[in-house]
């Protein structure tokens, strides 16, 4: 560990009293006080949006992260995970001779070392750090959510008028098909499911930041990582688990980990068993048979209910969602059908003074959406009744095609939805991928506020359109969020 990083941590600790509500996570400690501003409410945006609030969307085909300012509902910036235009020579360019490559050609260009298939994303407990997976490149990237940049990028030695000023970090290599990352509740570890294998990579977040260089390391130190130096123990362990693990989510107290799969109809529950420093010593508690709930064996997403009592599992090919007890770990309380060919992706909870619901994003595209265009829908499940009585009580068009990721603001009255497909010709945002914003102050009657076209990443050689949105997270840096 270098002295500059130590100095940065000491500076943060001296000023920690300025942020009494926020845990001193390894990322916050590594960044110093300037990187974690106290959330200030944006007066022009009303009381439910803070000035620091941002929505982050991973775009799988463009390998970018679109960042939306929720106060204006516009794309503020696009984070570049590609390695294009780091050199002026043609093999490094995105656009050569005026030709924009197809997606397949793009990621197989000679000398490309950027992200392939940007997919899962999650914030750490205090919202200062994001983790996102490159499924095809088998790695994980850490994103500074305050400054909205990739951790570990360095100054580009080839920089010039027609090249990018930074050289992209290659992230941390993990294993085959990393799908979804999840931080432990104390923020010390990042658990990443390797969907192409039967194991979970458990990373030490502090060491990962050190390996990537953080803010304290010099360019030379960062460039030398992995080139002859002894590797730091970034990956604490590979944890054997179900075949094809899709995602881990933790219980509210952080003592249990729930693991779902897209290859076997099973749910594994693991005791985290933290030591005195908060690092895990995992032990298998039980494996639950889900063949009755998920015959196709394809469960890609799960999330904990706000009160911490239930884990909800999305069965995409079974067109259903299951509710599992956390108190009696693994007991299935209910399985709720969502309709033929609904194809649920992600789920999100909204609990406020006017209702308690679960929203399910449906990949199916139906006719008759906003402005008469084809659109996906959200299924609305009323959670004010016991699990056995819960059912779909309504559907609402999302205003985009093939709905995927969704996340709410801390006040539970705004909801954002990502989409995989572009909008159709003749529609207001034809040819663009859009994010939709909803007013969910009345959860049973969500109202579409706007479609947000995601635009493009402007590279020196041309524009790379943001497309095929997957994960979406709403982040308020410096405030405990859904993973806290």
Per-residue model confidence as pLDDT tens digits over 327-347: 999 999 999 999 999 999 999
Distance CA 462, CA 459 (A): 5
CB 420 within 8 A of CB 363: yes
Positive or negative CA dihedral for 297, 303, 308, 310? Answer: negative
Nearest to residue 109, comparing CAs of 467, 464, 469, 422?
A: 464
List strand residue ranges (DSSP E) for 168-251, in order: 172-173, 178-183, 189-194, 199-204, 235-240, 245-250
Q: Tell me which residue has tokens 């997957």.
A: 470
Rounded alpha-carbon distances, angstroms, from residue 454 to 6, 385, 467? 39, 38, 8
The pTM is what?
0.90
Task: Please compute the mean of the pLDDT values over residues 64-76 and round it to a whole number.
Answer: 97
Q: Does the pLDDT of residue 37 top 80, yes or no?
A: no
Domains delineated in the chain: 3-475 (2.130.10.10)
For residue 371, name the pLDDT band (cuts at 50, 70, 90).
confident
φ, ψ (nearest 5 deg) of residue 481: -115, -155
430 against 7, higher pLDDT: 430
Furthest-apart CA atoms within the chain: distance in Å: 63
For residue 224, name the pLDDT band (cuts at 50, 70, 90).
very low
For the stretch 128-137, pLDDT in tens is 999 999 999 9
Q: Tell me which residue has tokens 């106290």.
A: 38
Question: What HEC string does 262-279 produce?
Answer: CCCCEEEEEECCCCCCCC
Nearest to residue 457, comparing CAs of 32, 64, 27, 24?
A: 64
Distance CA 338, CA 229 (A): 53
Rounded alpha-carbon distances, angstroms, from residue 413 to 55, 358, 445? 15, 13, 11
For residue 213, name the pLDDT band (cuts at 50, 70, 90).
confident
For the stretch 244-303, pLDDT in tens is 999 999 999 999 999 999 999 999 999 999 999 999 999 999 999 999 999 999 999 999
Distance CA 97, CA 422 (A): 26
**CA of residue 253 relative to chain centroid, distance:** 21
CB 153 within 8 A of CB 168: yes
Conformation bin of residue 380: beta by default, left when phi > 0, alpha when psi is -120 to 50 = beta
**CA of residue 5 relative to chain centroid, distance:** 27
Q: Does the pLDDT of residue 47 top 70, yes or no?
A: no
Helix (H, G, I), strand (E, B), or coil: what is residue 235? strand
Nearest to residue 457, comparing CAs of 35, 172, 170, 57?
A: 57
In DSSP terms, 407 is beta-bridged to 416
CB atoms within 10 A of CB 95: 17
CB 484 within 8 A of CB 475: no
């Amino acid at each position: 560990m270098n002295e500059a990083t130590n100095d940065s941590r000491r500076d943060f600790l001296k000023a920690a009293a300025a942020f009494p509500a926020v845990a001193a996570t390894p990322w916050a400690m590594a960044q110093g006080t300037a990187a974690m501003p106290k959330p200030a409410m944006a007066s022009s945006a009303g009381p439910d949006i803070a000035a620091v609030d941002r929505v982050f969307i991973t775009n799988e085909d463009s390998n970018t992260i679109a960042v939306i300012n929720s106060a204006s509902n516009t794309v503020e910036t696009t984070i570049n995970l590609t390695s294009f235009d780091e050199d002026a020579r043609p093999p490094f360019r995105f656009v050569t001779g005026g030709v924009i490559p197809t997606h397949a050609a793009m990621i197989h260009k000679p000398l490309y070392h950027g992200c392939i298939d940007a997919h899962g994303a999650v914030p750490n407990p205090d919202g200062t750090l994001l983790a996102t997976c490159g499924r095809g490149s088998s790695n994980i990237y850490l994103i500074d959510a305050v400054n909205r940049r990739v951790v570990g990028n360095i100054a580009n030695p080839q920089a010039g008028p027609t090249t990018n000023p930074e050289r992209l970090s290659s992230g941390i290599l993990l294993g085959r098909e990393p799908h979804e990352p999840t931080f432990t509740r104390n923020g010390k570890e990042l658990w990443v499911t390797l969907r192409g294998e039967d194991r979970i990579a458990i990373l030490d977040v502090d060491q990962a930041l050190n390996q990537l260089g953080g803010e304290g390391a010099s360019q030379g130190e960062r460039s030398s990582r992995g080139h002859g130096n002894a590797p730091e123990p970034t990956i604490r362990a590979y944890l054997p688990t179900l075949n094809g693990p899709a995602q881990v989510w933790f219980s509210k107290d952080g003592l249990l980990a729930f693991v779902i799969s897209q290859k076997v109809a099973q749910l594994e529950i693991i005791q985290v068993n933290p030591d005195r420093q908060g690092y895990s010593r995992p032990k298998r508690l039980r494996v639950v048979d889900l063949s009755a709930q998920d015959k196709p064996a394809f469960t890609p997403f799960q999330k904990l209910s706000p009160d911490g009592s239930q884990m909800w599992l999305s069965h995409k090919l079974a067109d259903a969602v299951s509710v599992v007890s956390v108190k009696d770990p693994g007991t299935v309380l209910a399985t709720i059908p969502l309709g033929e060919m609904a194809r649920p992706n992600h789920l999100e909870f909204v609990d406020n003074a006017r209702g308690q619901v679960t929203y399910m994003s449906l990949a199916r595209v139906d006719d008759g959406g906003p402005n008469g265009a084809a659109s996906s829908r959200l299924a609305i499940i009323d959670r004010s009744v016991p699990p056995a009585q819960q059912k779909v009580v309504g559907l609402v068009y999302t205003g985009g095609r093939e709905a995927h990721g969704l996340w709410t603001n801390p006040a539970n009255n705004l909801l954002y939805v990502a989409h995989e497909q572009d909008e159709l010709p003749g529609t207001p945002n034809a040819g663009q991928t859009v994010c939709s914003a909803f007013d969910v102050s009345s959860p049973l009657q969500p109202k579409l506020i706007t479609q947000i076209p995601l635009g493009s990443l402007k590279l020196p050689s041309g524009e790379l359109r943001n497309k095929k949105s997957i994960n979406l997270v709403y982040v308020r840096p410096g405030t405990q969020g859904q993973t806290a």
